[in-house]
Structure 1
Amino acid sequence: MRIALVTNRLSGSGRTDGDRILTLLTDRGADAQVLGLDDLDQPLPDVERLVVAGGDGSLGVAAQAAHRAGVPLAVLATGTANDFATALGLPKDLADACALAVDPDAPTQHREIGLVAGRPYVNAAAAGLSAVASRLAKPHKARLGRFAYVFGALRAGLTAPHTPCRVRCDGETVFDGDAWQLVVAVSGAFGGGSNIGGTRHDDDRLDVAVVPAGSRLALVRHGYHMRRAMLTQQEDVPHHRGREIDVDVPAATEFNVDGDLRRLEPARFTLLPGGVEVVTPGG
């Protein structure tokens, strides 16, 4: 199988795992051309599949490149949180993931690709406590791994202020007030194992969920339901679907977009028409 192997050369995993991954893939019959994330601005070579090794922050750009080339995307989860891979049930073992990536008979599943400020993402863009938690977790990721997000979430829940925001879904205002957190979701996974729940990968819609400001004690309940992928089932959490989501927040507000912190002005969220096919263990 002819593949393009994409690694994030700036990440620790991109430097340390690259040679092992290439060996695992070629031992299983792959004819691989190795690219970096910065190479994906250019058309892909003549390949049958794009294989990306990295964390969630690498996947949006790779998914968009696979979409443009009209080839399936295979994901090797070598990041810290790996929320996308977890949501799809992809193998955690690197050898197993490589075997799946080059299996010509492996099924694919259609997945949507979100766009914000011209950049693609596959999981979620969150403002409020999630963004604060991500910033607090960053210095501890090398030591604590995905548990750094738990540490960050606990500190954010105890100390972070709420965020004023106005949310419009297909032009209609669906929330206007203070929020602990808002999430504009594709897969809905974020934060090292959390998920808003209630999303679909085949409805050509984004999901937006808002946790209104209130008692900090209530955050314990909301945190529990996020870990159980049940946030959108809570009566006090507005949940809407639409093709275009606009979010107005103060200019200094950060969004956690698939693990990367960004300031977004304007914060307009849409979907890339057509999405991408992702190689999965089951249909």
Structure 2
Amino acid sequence: MTSDITLFVNPTAGRGRGARATQPAARVLRDAGFSVRTVLGEDAADALTRARAAVAGGTGALIAVGGDGICSLALQAVAGTATPLGVVAVGTGNDFARAAGLPVRDPAAAARAIADSLKGDGGVPVDLGRAGDTWFGTVLASGFDSRVNDRGNRLRFPTGRLRYDVALLAELAALRPVPYRITLDDGPARQVDATLVAVGNGGSYGGGMRICAGARLDDGLFDITVVGPCSRSTLLTVFPKVYKGTHLGHPEVTVHRAAKVTLEAPGTTGYADGEPLGPLPLTATTVRGAVRLLGARISGAR
């Protein structure tokens, strides 16, 4: 194990918490005997280029400091390599960190867990999803929620999170089921009308919405949550339950488990870890042990 490690930082995550978290995390890691360098990027593409260069250069670990966005970039750099990933989760959502049982919004505690893991087990193997060339740690979303994202991304006003509130209201007004073809593993295609379909490597997205509440990072399977045709009133009734995962008991909600899933639906975009993948059809595959995650504490059982 090399003592040289890299902090991969999004300084704007969590309204500036990423920048503020860098110093305490680096201090803990240096006190533990590690040599720490910091990588920033001018934009996402430049940041990813720099992170991949650090991995190719033999860094002992890549430590993502920020939220789920920087975690997603870091996964593209380390997945399938021998370089372990650490996460100092200080963003708005932090769904990947929560799924792995990592400290959230406590940079010193996160750094201590990383240092202990580097000196101990070297990280816990966790699964990732892969769709085309893109790796994801939490959820591949499609349907109603992806249309909200699409509409929100197109809006110029209002700004910030209000854009997505406006987009949500607009999509509710236009709510309609979408005809899907869903193929699980190598089985036959299933024709279903659905409000949304979510493919979970991890259990939650959007900052704690447990859309695939039973998903685990270490079982080699996706949890695929299918929400059938819903009226606006039904969706508004079911939606708040997603934060506790109790929506899974609703009669319009079904859950499937598979290592590979193909989704086909007209006019529908897929988003993985909150980032656009492109229009369906898309095929996602589980890759077991695709990354070693430092300090992970995955608990619970089927």
The answer to whether the superposition gives a TM-score over 0.5 is: yes
Cα distance change on mapping 1:265 and 1:254 into 2, 3 Å: closer
User: Which residue pairs with 2:252 in the alignment?
Assistant: 236
Q: Secondary structure at the match of 2:193?
A: strand
Where in structure 2 are there 5+ consecutive unaligned residues? 40-46
Equivalent position to 1:99, from 77, 100, 112: 112
| Alpha-carbon distance change, 133 to 280 in structure 1, aligned in 2, over 3 angstroms | farther
> Secondary structure of 2:231's partner?
coil
| Deviation (angstroms), 1:218 | 1.8
**Cα distance in 1 for residues equivalent to 2:166 and 2:200:** 23
CA distance in 2, matches of 1:180, 1:269: 19
Letter in 2 for 1:209: T
Could you state the TM-score of these two structures normalised by the residue count of structure 2?
0.77
Aligned ranges 1:103-182 → 2 under 5 Å:
103=116, 104=118, 108-135=123-150, 156-173=171-188, 175-182=190-197
Partner residue, 2:49: 38
Alignment correspondent of 1:186:
201
Q: In 1, are the aligned partners of 2:137 and 2:201 still within 8 Å (CA)?
A: yes
Who is 1:261 aligned against? 276
CA contact 1:60–1:113 (8 Å) conserved in 2: no
Contact 2:114 2:294 in 1 (8 A): yes
Q: Which residue of 1 aligns with 2:262?
A: 246
Residue by residue over 1:219-278, the C-alpha shift from the partner in whole angstroms, topping out at 9 and shown as x without a partner, is 13431332112344444322211121101112x422221111332354011123432222
- 3-state DSSP class of the match of 1:238? strand
**Secondary structure in structure 2 of the residue aligned to 1:48:** coil
Partner residue of 2:44? none
Cα RMSD of the aligned pairs, angstroms, is 3.4
Q: Give, in whole Å, the separation in 2 of the partners of 1:28 and 1:155.
A: 51
Q: What fraction of aligned residue pairs are identical, expressed as a percent?
A: 25
- Bigger CA drift: 215-224 or 150-159? 150-159
Pick which of 183-192 and 134-143 moved more. 134-143
Is contact 2:128-2:217 (8 Å) kept?
Answer: no
Count of aligned positions: 280
Q: Cα deviation per residue 1:71-108 (whole Å; 9 max; x = unaligned)?
A: 33211113321111223332222232223222345664
- 1:193 maps to a residue whose letter is G
1:193-213 Cα distance to aligned partner (Å, 9 max, x none): 111212132221222111011
CA 8–76 in structure 1, closer or farther in 2 if over 3 Å, else same: same
Structure 1 residue runs without a partner (length 5+): none
Distance change in 2, residues 1:231/1:44 (3 Å): farther
- CA deviation string 1:112-136 (max 9, x = no partner): 1101121000000111222233356
CA contact (8 A) 2:62 2:85 kept: yes
The answer to whether 1:69 aligns with 2:71 is: no
Query: 2 CA distance for matches of 1:141 and 1:16?
Result: 26
CA distance in 2, matches of 1:70, 1:53: 20
1:57 matched residue in structure 2: 69
Q: Which residue type is aligned with residue 257 of structure 2?
A: R
What TM-score, normalized by structure 1, do the two folds share? Answer: 0.81
Render the CA deviation track for 1:150-185: whole Å, top value 9, x for unaligned.
776566445444333211101334642321111011
* Selected match of 1:198 from 190, 214, 221: 214
Q: Which amino acid aligns with 1:270?
A: T
Are the counterparts in 2 of residues 124 and 186 from structure 1 also a CA contact under 8 Å?
yes
